[in-house]
Amino acid sequence: MNKVYFFGPLAALLLFVGVYVSHRGGMKEREAAKAAATESALKAKLEGEQAARKAAMADAIKAAEQRKAEKAAKEAREKADKEERQLALDARDKAYREQEKSARQIERLKKEIEAEQAELGKLAAERKTLEAEQAFLREFVAKAQGNVQALQTLLTKLEAPAPKPAPAAK
């Protein structure tokens, strides 16, 4: 029995060494293949990431350029809108000033019209007075001329020799 205790573990040890040696040679190859596979996978992954990074960078640059162009277009639109708004405000202010100027001119002209109408009223009253005076003077002249003729007739009668009294009837 003592031999079984010695040969059994020895056989197991030999069997283990045989299996170990056979696996050890294949294991190095498998580990090398596995390492090569992981390395190639890692390399492919890194290349894919690098390609993705380049594509993302190109997209980012393109997006930045597009945003820059959009920003420039927006600024140009806003500038044009601002200029247009300023022109509209200037036109509105100018129209308001013109309206105020016209309103002041209208008020001034209304005052002048009122003054002229008052002056016309005074002139019309003066004209009526003068026409009445002229009519009075014509009438007065006509009466005066009539009086002059009557006085001349009277003077000629008075200057004429007195008629001899008619003989008295007997």
Using 50, 70 and 90 to split pLDDT, how confident is the model at 37? very high
Q: Does an H or E element contain 19, and which?
A: helix 2-159
State residue 60's pLDDT score. Answer: 95
- Scanning the structure block, which residue is given the tokens 């009086």? 147
159, amino acid identity: E
Work out the pLDDT band at 166, boundaries 50, 70, 90.
low
Two tokens at 100?
């105020």
Mean pLDDT of 109-114: 96
Q: What is the DSSP string of 86-153?
A: HHHHHHHHHHHHHHHHHHHHHHHHHHHHHHHHHHHHHHHHHHHHHHHHHHHHHHHHHHHHHHHHHHHH
Residue in the block written with tokens 């002139």:
123
Kindly state the average pLDDT of the residues 94-103: 96
Report residue 47's pLDDT band, with 50, 70 and 90 as the boundaries.
very high
CA distances from 52 to 42, 46, 49, 59, 61 (A): 15, 10, 5, 10, 14
Q: What is the pLDDT of residue 170?
A: 55
Q: State the number of CA atoms in the 13 A half-sphere of 86 facing the CB.
A: 6
Tell me the average pLDDT of the chain.
90
What pTM was estimated for this model as a whole? 0.41
Band (pLDDT 50/70/90 cuts) for residue 84 is very high
Spatial separation of the C-alpha atoms in residues 98 and 89, rounded to whole Å: 14
Mean pLDDT of 27-56: 90
| pLDDT, tens digit, 9 for 90 and up, residues 116-154 | 999 999 999 999 999 999 999 999 999 999 999 998 998
